[in-house]
A and B are shown apart, each in its own frame.
Chain A
Amino acid sequence: MTRALLNRLRVERGTALVTVLMVTTLVATLSAAIVLVVMSNSLASANHGAAQQALYAADAALESTISELRTTDWRAIPGGDASLRLRDGSASPRAPDGRSVAPDRLRAALQADSDARYGTGPNQPVWYLYGRARFADLLSGPIVPPAYLIVWPADDGDERDGDPERDSNQVILARAEAFGVAGAHRTVEATLSLQTAPGAMVDPESPPPPERREVRVLSWREVR
């Protein structure tokens, strides 16, 4: 038995296989390392791009809302899915990557976050759904990044009228969220002030022109 084994070990057949296997292992390891580096880089790049797209989509939603609010009566906080531009009738909206975007759940989380920041009481900001839509529904054009947008307004927490559903100082808060691909989610928030000024008089004989309304951004911030 032992002699037979020794005889088999003396035979050199198969040594090339060992060499080939070693070379193959070396090349495969190095190739895997390159693939890993390239894939990680591609993933990081894609995530970064998705996050950027989501941020600018959220900012676009906020700008669109500001534009709409110029002609909106602020005395009642414009909730109840009132937006004319951000209108998506779907019952169960989803982000481009398939995530569920449940407005009720998002609103509860936003309200909890807001309560922690502003405190609770009769003047606490109460957030309402203003509008929601796909980014492609808001913008037209060949290159619109995939994103789902939601906008929430609330009365600011500095008034003392005891009614968070009504604005009495012409200052409100607006928050816009965008859900993009690959789990991207970005939020921007602004404190907005409605300002009015007399319309430009063209002819002294004609009736006075309507006052000009402008929404001024008192503060813009990215929420993280």
Chain B
Amino acid sequence: MTRVARVAEPSGYMLLELVVSAAIVCGVLAVILRLGATAQTAVRAAGDAADLQQRLRVAVETLRRDLLAAGAGPSRGSGAGPLIDAFAPVLPARTGRSGADPDLTVATDRLSLLYVPPEGAETRLARGMTTGADPLFVDGGAPGCSGGNLCGFHAGDRVLVFSPGDADGGHDVFTITSTDASTGAVVPAAPLSRPYGAGARVTSIIQRVYYLDRPGRRLMVYDGDRSDVPLVDHVADLHFAYDADPSAGSAARPPAGGANCAYAAGDPPVPRLQELGGSALVRLDPARMADGPFCGGAVGRFDADLLRLRRIEVSLRLEAEADEFRGSGPAFANPGTSRDGDRYLPDLTMTFAVAPRNMGNTPLR
């Protein structure tokens, strides 16, 4: 076959056709892939945005629920009433068995609260303790006690004991290690800070400590005992602020002639708290929550201004989970790798205030 004949054959055009068609296919594929990649990024960005909002909802709802209930006390029997009548149920610090802050700590990124659960056991001490290391003998016939001599208390339960009549706001929260149903004895895991007299209130308690794990960027919730778990990931910031009743007489008042850490003896008792002026709630600065007067015993001291807390403001800042959706600049607490608008999910901040329903209703004065 000659060269001319080979060139003239139709099969000689196949390579050119192939190259042209390959170029067209590559062009079309490039467009398709670009379209697909953009759409895929959009899907992932939408998913991350939804996840960001859902995490924020979970955090807000959990905090709101516990803050609303904070300070709920025993609801049955003669000593029924909110915990704030006896001591401060909300503290700007971490409390509990492990890693507790020193007394009088004021931190803006952690908060501890206590409340008696609606279905919790409620009773009182049947007899006084001699030392703080004694077991507690509970009254199986007290109002709110059901479930036999032990009123439904079990090993492992978290329990609050306090004396509403005590003037200093002393109280203990402990975990039960063992019980004796025949005598109604409840044994705490560790000695209490003081012995309590007969009639002291003994109730189930819910303890919650919310704090920010800054290195891990997690909102943590601690139950005061062994459970210390993350609630929400990728939390860039958490801030608590506290608003108080400005009246010097806003803390629960002792009986005429009596005194406590918030009132000096008198008829009527004389407030030790400072008048903050006006009638609207006043933001407490951290210094005021640690300058006295002080309540509590040698252990568990707190500033008496915490007895007039009426509202807690929470600011939460959450960030997108993936680095690729976080850019740089003030919209991002922790910069990421995003360089274009397709991958841009700025931090989400929510500030909300909760007035705990059990901390705003003082007795008739």
Contact = CB atoms under 8 A, between A and B. Distances in A.
Contacts of A193: 80
A41 interface: yes
Contact of B46 (A37, A195, A216): A37
B84 to A, nearest CB: 12
A218 B43 contact: no
Nearest to B33: A26
B72 interface: yes
A44 interface: yes
Interface stretch (A27-35, A77-85, A202-210): A27-35
A196 B74 CA distance: 21
B42 A41 contact: no
A84 to B, nearest CB: 23
Interface string B31-69: 010011001101100110110011001000100010011
B357 A220 contact: yes
Given A27-B35, A222-B68, A191 B54 contact: no
Contacts of B46: 34, 37-38
A217 B76 contact: no
A219 B82 contact: yes
A76 interface: no
B27 interface: no
A223 B364 CA distance: 27
Interface string A63-89: 000000000000000000000000000
Contacts of A119: 146
Contacts of B32: 23, 26
Interface string A181-212: 00000000101010111000000000000001
A223 B118 contact: yes
Given A23-B32, A117-B119, A195-B364, A218 B39 contact: no
A155 interface: no
B363 interface: yes
Contacts of B39: 26-27, 30-31, 34
A197 B364 contact: yes
A100 interface: no
Contacts of B40: 30
A153 interface: no
A41 B45 CA distance: 13
B143 A158 contact: yes
Contacts of A158: 76-77, 143-144
A219 B116 contact: yes
A178 to B, nearest CB: 15
B358 A217 contact: yes
A217 B358 CA distance: 7
Given A27-B35, A30-B39, A37-B47, A218 B118 contact: no
Interface string A5-33: 00000000000000100010011001101
A59 B65 CA distance: 13
A193 B363 CA distance: 10
B247 interface: no
A191 B361 contact: no
B68 A19 contact: no
Nearest to A37: B46
B75 interface: yes
B201 to A, nearest CB: 13
Interface of A: 19, 23, 26-27, 30-31, 33-34, 37-38, 40-41, 44-45, 48, 59, 117, 119, 156-158, 171, 189, 191, 193, 195-197, 212, 214, 216-223
Given A212-B364, A218-B81, A220-B68, 11 more contacts: A23-B35, A26-B32, A30-B39, A34-B39, A45-B57, A157-B76, A158-B144, A217-B82, A219-B72, A219-B116, A222-B69
Per CB-CB distance, the 8 closest pairs between chain A and chain B, nearest first, are A219-B75, A220-B357, A30-B39, A41-B50, A158-B143, A214-B364, A191-B75, A218-B80
Interface of B: 28, 32, 35-36, 39-40, 42-43, 46-47, 49-50, 53-54, 57, 61, 65, 68-69, 72-77, 80-82, 116, 118-119, 143-144, 146, 357-358, 361, 363-365
